[in-house]
């Protein structure tokens, strides 16, 4: 009942409602721009959330995620260029419908499917999060250490690129997290006399750098995307008979989204393509897929919006983000000193239940906002890329400076951006690095705390049953992924394709 | 040697350097069984092992894949390197614009510097250097000034202008 009270507060408090709507607007605009992923859209907002009240900040970031998942479908339908990876499946039939003069109908289907998927995802988020978080109450310091290792292992094994590179990225993230003052002994590590580094390297700088700045560096040599000549498109909402036809693909998409969202490393892109395939399999008109089928838009859009809700489950329950976007959201929580997990439910229930209420506002208000904001979004997508790049660069620098008023931070962001560019070049995934940085303190503190209990004997990690179970699970993921890599390399060798030098 | 082999070598070297840097962390009487250097050293070992695995993996893959004719392979490598070199130089140019902003902002102040940043970025990204681009950059700078300084009350760098203009005001 207390939770409902907090959620109601979010629904009726002006800052919370405003944050939800503002997040949706920002998310749609950001998600609609090709090359600007939901995580980049959220990362650009992070510096501004420092001075906000925690609940408002988290609602703003989560609503941005919701908005971006819909926003990505707009260019996917109008110019066959998905604004987000998760909208790639929507582009297949969405653009076909647009060519047939049914672009407005496609946008309407995307909007309604997204709302339904988002609400279903929210229901599962509310239902699953607290019980799973209660499980974490059984965790001891060895178990928390093992959980951090499991999180890194799972993300490294499921991220794009090779397992070894994923693990290396995670280790590098943990290394970056050791810079600064050791929280236990007070000794400075890797600061080399720099007072700015005594507090460590804030993960927000690395997040904004690797996600947003590296994207700018890549965009510097990427051709301009195709513009939409159709600025008069209006959303056409599906009729009741169409909604009945779309019920099955919506449910298929949401079902897959529930499962994929809860799985770390899976995410909206996989969910949307799986939904597309399954919707075609179960459709009465599978021959329409690829030629402008409404079901082919409904299923992936329902899926990726469901994921926007259920992807928060592992992050809120255990503090293990399963995607880039939830990693940014975790960053938003940590900025305000909030550690996800069962204690967050006990100590700050207003944040969690307020978030649930805010997401409800976001998923429902997206209906009206999505209709109203379509024309400005198309206008924005049609702006010349040089001006958009200039605006984003200025926003990054201004936002980062606003955190600590330090030009040194801006140098760090540029360095992180360069590192992110190099990582893209050599096929290193971002998420394990970000996760290592964010979880570094949790992993080290619990590692050292565990050894304090046993006087330095590492057997404690094997004696604790939860720790042992989590470490074995981590090993299974790593070995499984390694086996997959080896089989893939053997097939590559047998096929004689390429020289194997690519990442 | 393949690209991944070189990456492995670089990271192996970095792991060694990191280990030595961690070895220099002083021991505190407040340390427990694991000192402040404990985790960094463990991470250096982990990175070293992973780098070695990457080297072994890349060499093994190279060995089992079908070899291409040497001339064609050399040609392919060169052309992709040239194409990539242009891309990398373009990216470096964006970084240079960012560094340029950081060098001038203590002197010119935030508003002028951000206008310059936007102008330089837009022109570098392909916009024509002219009145329109200049106007957009100027309007953008003014917008950011009002948004951050006036609306959000963030004390962005004023530059040398207060010192230069205070005698006139005084």
Closest C-alpha among A126, A118, A122, A60 to residue A345 = A126
Report the distance separating Cα B27 and Cα B19, nearest Å.
15
Residue with tokens 């427990």: B32
First to last CA, chain A: 52
In the structure, how many helices (H) and strands (E) does chain B have?
A: 6, 0
This prediction has a pTM of 0.83
Quick check: A295 and A245 in contact, CB under 8 A? Answer: yes
Give B133→chain A minimum CA distance, Å.
Answer: 8
Shortest Cα distance, chain B CAs vs residue A119, angstroms: 33
B residues 29-58 lying closer than 8 A (beta carbon) to A = 30-40, 43, 46-47, 50-51, 53-54, 57-58
Q: Is the pLDDT of residue B164 over 50?
A: yes
Mutate to test the interface with B, among A44, A180, A387, A441 (most CBs of B within 10 A): A387
DSSP-derived letter for residue B155 is: -
- The C-alpha atoms of residue B28 and residue A257 are separated, in whole angstroms, by 50
Closest partner CB to B47 (pick from A171, A218, A456): A171
Nearest CA in chain A to B30: A185
Q: Are A4 and A353 in contact (CB under 8 A)?
A: yes
Residue A421 structure tokens: 């560019």
Dihedral sign for Cα atoms in the order A26, A27, A29, A35: positive
3-state secondary structure of A180: strand
Distance from C-alpha of A460 to C-alpha of A465, rounded to nearest angstrom: 10
CA-to-CA separations, A423 to A209, A218, B55, in angstroms, rounded: 12, 12, 17
Cross-strand pairs, A189:
A180
A395 contacts B144? CB cut-off 8 A: yes
C-beta atoms of B98 and A414 within 8 A: yes
Which positions in chain B touch A197 (Cβ < 8 Å)?
Answer: none
Comparing CA positions, the residue from B144, B90, B89 lying closest to residue B116 is B144
ipTM over 0.85: yes
pLDDT in tens, chain A (503 residues): 667 777 777 677 778 899 999 999 999 998 888 777 888 889 888 888 888 888 899 999 999 999 998 998 988 888 887 888 788 889 889 989 988 888 889 999 999 999 999 999 999 998 888 887 777 777 888 988 888 888 888 778 777 668 899 999 999 999 999 999 887 888 899 998 888 898 889 888 898 899 889 989 998 887 776 666 655 678 888 888 989 999 999 999 999 999 888 876 666 778 888 899 889 988 998 888 988 999 999 999 999 899 988 889 888 888 888 788 888 898 888 888 888 877 788 888 888 888 999 999 999 999 999 989 888 888 888 888 899 899 999 989 998 898 888 999 999 999 999 999 999 999 998 888 988 888 888 889 888 888 887 887 888 899 988 899 989 988 988 888 888 877 877 776 665 544 333 33
Instruction: Give residue-wise pLDDT tens across range A438-486.
Output: 888 888 988 888 888 788 788 889 998 889 998 998 898 888 888 887 7
Exposure string for A290-312, b = 16+ CB within 10 A, e = fewer: eebbbbbbbbbbbbbbbbbbbbb
A186 to A67, A195, A196, B18, B35: CA distances (angstroms): 43, 14, 16, 20, 11
Residues 6+ apart with CB under 8 A from B92: none
């Amino acid at each position: 009942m207390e939770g409902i009270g907090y959620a109601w507060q979010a629904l009726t408090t002006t800052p919370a409602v405003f944050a939800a709507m503002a997040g949706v607007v920002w998310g749609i605009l950001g998600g609609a721009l090709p090359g600007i992923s939901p995580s980049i859209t959220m990362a650009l907002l992070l510096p501004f959330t420092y001075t906000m009240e925690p609940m408002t900040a988290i609602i703003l970031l989560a609503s941005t995620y919701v908005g971006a998942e819909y926003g990505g479908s707009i260019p996917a339908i109008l110019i066959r260029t998905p604004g987000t990876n998760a909208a790639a499946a929507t582009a297949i039939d969405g653009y076909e419908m647009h060519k047939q003069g049914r672009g407005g109908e496609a946008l309407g289907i995307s909007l309604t499917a997204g709302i339904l998927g988002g609400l279903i995802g929210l229901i599962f988020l509310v239902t699953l999060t607290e019980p799973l978080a209660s499980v974490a109450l059984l965790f001891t310091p060895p178990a928390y250490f093992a959980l951090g290792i499991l999180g890194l292992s799972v993300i490294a094994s499921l991220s794009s690129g090779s397992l070894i590179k994923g693990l290396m990225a995670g280790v590098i993230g943990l290394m970056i997290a050791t810079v600064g003052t050791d929280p236990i002994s007070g000794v400075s590590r890797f600061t080399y006399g720099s007072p700015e580094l005594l507090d460590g390297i804030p993960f927000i700088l690395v997040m904004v750098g690797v996600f947003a700045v590296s994207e700018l560096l890549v965009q510097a040599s990427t051709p301009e995307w195709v513009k939409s000549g159709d600025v008069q498109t209006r959303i056409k909402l599906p009729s009741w008979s169409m909604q009945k036809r779309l019920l099955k693909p919506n449910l298929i998409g949401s079902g897959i989204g529930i499962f994929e969202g809860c799985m770390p490393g899976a995410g909206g892109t996989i969910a949307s393509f799986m939904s597309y395939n399954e919707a075609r399999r179960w459709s009465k008109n599978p021959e329409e897929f690829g030629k402008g089928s409404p079901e082919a838009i409904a299923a992936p859009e329902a899926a990726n919006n469901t994921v926007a809700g259920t992807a928060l489950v592992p992050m809120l329950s255990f503090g293990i983000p399963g995607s880039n976007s939830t990693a940014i959201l975790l960053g938003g929580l940590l900025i305000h000193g909030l550690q996800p997990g069962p204690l967050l439910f006990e100590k700050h229930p207003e944040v969690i239940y307020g978030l649930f209420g805010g997401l409800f506002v976001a998923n429902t208000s997206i209906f009206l906002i999505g209709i109203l904001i379509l024309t400005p979004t198309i206008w924005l997508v049609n702006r010349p890329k040089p001006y958009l790049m200039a605006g984003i660069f200025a926003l990054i620098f201004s936002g980062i400076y606003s955190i600590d008023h330090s030009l040194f931070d801006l140098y760090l962001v540029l360095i992180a951006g360069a590192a992110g560019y190099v990582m893209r070049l050599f096929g290193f995934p971002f998420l394990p690095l970000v996760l290592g940085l964010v979880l570094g303190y949790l992993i080290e503190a619990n590692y050292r705390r565990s050894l304090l209990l046993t006087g330095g004997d590492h057997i404690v990690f094997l004696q604790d049953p939860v720790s042992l179970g989590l470490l074995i699970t981590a090993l299974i993921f790593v070995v499984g992924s390694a086996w997959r890599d080896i089989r893939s390399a053997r097939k590559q060798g047998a096929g004689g394709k390429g020289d194997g030098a690519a990442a | 040697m393949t690209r991944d082999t070189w990456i492995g070598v670089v990271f192996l070297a970095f792991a060694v350097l990191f280990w030595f840097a961690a070895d220099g962390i002083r021991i505190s009487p407040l340390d427990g069984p694991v000192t402040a250097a404990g985790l960094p050293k463990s991470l250096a070992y982990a990175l070293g092992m992973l780098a070695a695995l990457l080297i072994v993996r890349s060499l093994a893959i190279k060995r089992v894949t079908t070899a291409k004719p040497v001339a064609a392979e050399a040609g392919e490598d060169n052309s992709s390197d040239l194409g990539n070199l242009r891309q990398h130089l373009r990216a470096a140019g964006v970084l240079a614009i960012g560094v340029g902003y950081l060098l001038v902002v203590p002197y010119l102040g935030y508003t002028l510097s951000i206008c310059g940043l936007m102008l330089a970025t837009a022109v570098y990204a392909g916009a024509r250097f002219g009145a329109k681009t200049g106007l957009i950059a100027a309007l953008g700078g003014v917008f950011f000034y009002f948004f951050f300084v006036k609306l959000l009350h963030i004390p962005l760098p004023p530059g040398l202008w207060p010192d230069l203009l205070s005698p006139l005001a005084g």
